[in-house]
Amino acid sequence: MASCVIPFLPAASSSLPLRGKSATTTTQGRLQLWSSLPPERRAVKLGLEDFKKWAVESRSKLAKILFSGAIAVGVSLSGVNYADAKVGVNKPELLPKEYTPVIDVAGLLSSGQENRLVEEITGLEKDTGYKLRILIQNFPDTPGLAIKDFWSVDDRTIVFVADPTFGNILHFNVGATVDLEVPRNFWSRVAGKYGNVFYWREKGEDRSIEDAVEVISTCLRDPLGSNSCSEVL
């Protein structure tokens, strides 16, 4: 890849006026310096400014998309309150007819995989009291806020949303009690290892989900304390 060298501009390009010169004189000096630059250097400078502007706008747009996506499904590590969500998806018609702790709207799991996850989640809740719930979706095709009542989400609930829309496939919302007992960085480490785009594209979305559930189950079954869930295998 060819690289472009950004020319170093002398001190006259500083935002502070030079000693003994007014701001107007300094500005005129900048303009003269700019006009004296060869066309290719001016093009590089313009390209850099355009790139900076594009980067700022892109970050802003991405942040808005991610935020609206988190609100729409009612999940985020910061604990977005469902009742405070003014906008977002709410499609109870996408909920299954019968209760299940695993909702696969995107169809990423086989029936056998789904049954194994249901069995693991049911056993985990019986043994520990923690309620792990999994929603697999492709935003905006999701029941969204409707999952709150369907699953009776409370302080001991972990809502695990698998959605490849935003790159990392794994997203978590943890209840207040869980947040106090499990180190917060555990969830980001799980997402970082098993949810990154390279992992799930190589292993498959289903494998990413299954591996994450296994690690979460191991964490919650171990005695919780200051060193709990310190490793993500």
Element (DSSP H or E) covering residue 118? helix 111-128
Element (DSSP H or E) covering residue 29? helix 23-36
pLDDT digits (tens, 9 = 90+) for 141-162: 899 999 999 999 999 999 999 9
Domains of the chain, CATH where assigned = 70-221 (3.10.310.50)
Residue 55 makes CB contacts below 8 A (sequence gap 6+) with: none
Quick check: 94 and 141 in contact, CB under 8 A?
A: yes
3-state secondary structure 33-85: HHHHCCHHHHHHHHHHHHHHHHHHHHHHHHHHHHHHHHHHHCCCCCCCCHHHC
pLDDT digits (tens, 9 = 90+) for 79-124: 333 333 334 689 999 999 999 999 999 999 999 999 999 999 999 9
pLDDT digits (tens, 9 = 90+) for 197-225: 999 889 999 999 999 999 999 999 887 65
